[in-house]
Amino acid sequence: MAKGRVYAWGDAECGKIGRASNTRRKDEEALRITPLGASGVQDIFCGKNTSFYVDKKGKLFAFGQNNHGQLGIGHTRNTAEPSPVLFEEDVELVEVNGGEHHSIALTKQGKVYCWGRNDEGQMGLGDIYGEYRRQKAQKEAESAAAEMKAPAEQPVGS
């Protein structure tokens, strides 16, 4: 095998191994080892249905399931094509990992980046949607209480 090349095999669902599933014979296809088409790869990382690699220039590429933006590539479509992760600045990555629908990266400088789903605080940023749901429920309860205290309207002409 060539140095710095990536080979993949296994379940191709969502494009997580860098190729789309194109046959009904999944077991036969899963056993086929194929090159990813990337060279100069320095490191590889995987989430549940996602894969990442860092090239020799330090650029992070991602492919696989992306329904919550867990690939960090600017949209939410699954892809089997390795696509660059969109950081706002140049970063030197030390490690990348992923959960089911979110991803996290550690830089050489000690910064942590997170992206993807965060409805239950998966990224360590707090439970944003849970807090929204709590605030909405509280407002609805306050509104219902105010309606119960308001005097009943009298029909006109009575």
Task: Flag whether 156 is in a domain.
Answer: no
Pair 61, 52: CB distance under 8 Å: yes
Q: Which residues of 103-117 are buried (b: 16+ CB within 10 A; e: fewer)?
A: bbbebeeeeebebbb
Beta bridge partners of 10: none
pLDDT for 86-138, tens place per residue?
Answer: 988 888 888 888 888 888 888 888 998 888 888 777 766 665 555 566 677 78
How many domains does one find in the chain?
Answer: 1
pLDDT for 49-77, tens place per residue?
Answer: 888 888 888 889 998 888 888 888 999 99
Task: Flag whether 152 is in a domain.
Answer: no
Task: Flag whether 136 is in a domain.
Answer: yes
Task: Flag whether 115 is in a domain.
Answer: yes
Pair 70, 123: CB distance under 8 Å: no
Task: Flag whether 157 is in a domain.
Answer: no
Q: What are the tokens at 1? A: 């095998």
Give me the CATH number covering residue 92.
Answer: 2.130.10.30
Q: 74 is in which domain, residue-wise?
A: 7-146
